[in-house]
Structure 1
């Protein structure tokens, strides 16, 4: 389970994200329909031509499987200028 911890001055939020949601999110992001919409939006609004290549979700599944085995790994830890702390841990 992915744990996102956000600390804002006096409040603390912990958001648990199950791996099933990550798999669903990757399936949505790698769908052809979403990539076509994103590339079309980039073409109309960007000054430079840039296209996001098609990524197969089956190529990302081994990555998620390996990440799920690395429990306790700290992925991101940052402190903003206003004192907000954000950490993402497996």
Structure 2
């Protein structure tokens, strides 16, 4: 399970993200329909940047590695205003 912890001033938020949810999000992001939708939204904004299509087979090893290496901290940031963000496996 991926755990995202956010601390802003006096409030703390912990958002657990189970691996099945990560797999579902991966499936949605790698779909051609989603890619087309994102690129159309960028074109309407007037920018000429295109999001490249990502293959699901390229993300599968990453998701498997997440499941194998539990407890590793991926992101740990602290800003000057006291905001802290931590992402752990």
Place the TM-score, normalised by the shorter chain, in its bin.
0.7 to 0.9
SS in 1 for 2:53: coil
Separation (CA, whole Å) in 2 of partners of 1:50 and 1:13: 34
Deviation at 1:77, TM superposition (A): 1.0
Residues 74-89 of structure 1 aligned to structure 2 (within 5 Å): 74-89=73-88
Partner of 1:28: 28
Deviation at 1:12, TM superposition (A): 2.1
- Using structure 1 for the length normalisation, give the TM-score: 0.86
User: Relative to structure 1, is the Cα distance of residues 75 and 46 closer, same or farther in structure 2, using a 3 angstrom cutoff?
Assistant: farther
- Using structure 2 for the length normalisation, give the TM-score: 0.87
Instruction: List gaps (5 residues or longer) in structure 2.
Output: none
Partner of 1:59: 58
Q: CA RMSD in A?
A: 1.4
Moved over 3 A (4+): none
Instruction: List gaps (5 residues or longer) in structure 1.
Output: none
- The answer as to 2:12 corresponding to 1:12 is yes
